[in-house]
Amino acid sequence: MPIDPNKTLGPVQLWRNARLATLAPGREGLGPVESGAVAAREGRIVYAGPENKLPAHIVEASAIVVDCDGRLITPGLIDCHTHLVYAGNRANEFEMRLAGATYEEIARAGGGIVSSVEALRAESEDTLLRETLPRLDALLAEGVTTIEVKSGYGLDLENERKSLRVARRLGSERSVTVQTTFLGAHTVPPAYRDDRDAYIDLVVDEMLPAVVREGLADAVDGFAEGIAFTPGQIERVFEAAKALGLPVKLHADQLSDTGGAALAARFGALSADHLEHASESGAAAMSVAGTVAVMLPGAFYFIRETHKPPVDAFRRHGVPMAVATDSNPGTSPLTSLLLAMNMAATLFGLTVEECVAGVTRHAAQALGIGHETGTLEVGKWADLAIWDVERPAELVYRMGFNPLHARVWRDR
Ligand code: DI6
Ligand code: FE
């Protein structure tokens, strides 16, 4: 419930003497405020705006006042596409690719996602959690306050459940909001290699209803690709998700144009992700459906993709763009959202404003939680990132340097 800004019964925490990038919609650029302040109460923002307009009753109710010394405050960052929960790594496949093999060749030879499936199945839930936490910590150290985590390395009910439970546990181990996504249709497990439809039956009839019943999934994702599932198979998963009341997302047109963008749009997907090979008509359909285009330049870079996503088409059609790490062992072993922003700018030509909106307002929209986070506005979670930078461009420009001064999650 949003807090009534006029009610100041509880203690207020106040950050003063700051520059704000509010990302509030309808404002120019990043919604800047030169001499700004943010106030929060019970984990929600009760004021974000010019310091000289701070209501007296908020100042009076302030129990903690932080002088930001002119630093920049942005909304806490949101990594809206990760496969953070996995076992082991695939450095061996990286070496094979350096020697000339392609990602698809390795996948078709039984490596790729399937090798991560074997590793994850062999691990206990506690070990998996222990292995995942350092990756989460790397993201949090750069100001991330919300993260999406997908399953998809279990590929049977027990192990998909295990992955999603670990994802949920990340949110109790650390001060971070975790949104979970069931990605049972990530690839075909070896036992179903010759009958992909039978695996989709299992996803639709057993796995999905069980994870929904147990409250383990906030959304449903799939991988539409030659090495994974056909659009028709993904449609079955999406229909089942919709029937259970869950929003959908799609790994779309990453390695080839399978009409994934349009498919996602047809189901009113929250987002279509990757999109390197998406078509103009796919972009147009996404615009009508309000589907966010999630750019994953880490995967583009790491598998040396050369076909860029149609950024100009997204701009022309007014499709909001988000930027995420796609953190995963096979195509994007990346745990820096700042570096993902840099790559989105250098590799895909996004502007600084597009990059910053891509890890805040638009990332929240890609998770269906735009009403809770992603901007500095009254009523939203008090998730802040406070930066030691002169200008927002520095968040995008540097490579391998972390200018975070402080991170606030729901005013803690
Ligand atoms: N696309 C990707 O880039 C990741 N999953 C997907 O559907 C790759 C996952 C992996 O190779 O482990
Ligand atoms: Fe992915």
Say if residue 79's pLDDT is above 90: yes
31: left (phi over 0), alpha (psi -120 to 50) or beta: left
Q: Which atom of ligand 1 is nearest to the CA of 251?
A: 7
Q: Are 107 and 374 in contact (CB under 8 A)?
A: no
Spacing, Cα 318 to ligand 1 middle (Å): 27
- Give me the residues paired with residue 250 across strands: 272
User: What does the pLDDT average to over 230-234?
Assistant: 97
**Distance from first CA to last CA of the chain, Å, rounded?**
18
pLDDT exceeds cutoff 60 at 2 = no
| Torsion-angle region of 11 (φ positive above 0: left; ψ -120 to 50: alpha; else: beta) | beta
Ligand 1 binding pocket includes 300 (Cβ within 6 Å): no
Mean per-residue pLDDT, 242-262: 97
| 256-295: pLDDT as tens digits | 999 999 999 999 999 999 999 999 999 999 999 999 999 9
Nearest CA to ligand 1 atom 1: 251
Q: Give the number of other CB atoms < 10 A from CB of residue 26.
A: 5
Neighbours of 142 (CB within 10 A): 23
Q: 8-25, pLDDT tens digit by residue?
A: 467 999 999 999 999 999
Say if ligand 1 is within 6 A of residue 254 CB.
Answer: yes
pLDDT at 5 over 80: no
Q: What is the mean pLDDT of residues 315-322?
A: 98
* Per-residue pLDDT, 245: 97
Q: How much is the pLDDT for 1?
A: 45
Instruction: Give me the percent of the chain exceeding a pLDDT of 90.
Output: 95
Whether residue 101 is predicted with pLDDT greater than 80 in this model: the reply is yes
Per-residue pLDDT tens over the stretch 362-377: 999 999 999 999 999 9
CA dist 261 and 224 (Å) reads: 10
Which residue has the CA at smallest separation from atom 7 of ligand 1?
A: 223
Work out the pLDDT band at 328, boundaries 50, 70, 90. Answer: very high
Backbone angles phi, psi at 170, to 5 degrees: -55, -35
* pLDDT, mean of residues 124-143: 98
Whose atoms come closest to the Cα of 328: which ligand?
A: 1
Closest ligand, as measured to the CA of 330 = 1
Q: What pLDDT digit, counting tens, does each position of 144-188 carry?
A: 999 999 999 999 999 999 999 999 999 999 999 999 999 999 999
Mean pLDDT of the chain, nearest integer: 96
pLDDT tens-digit readout, 105-115? 998 888 899 99
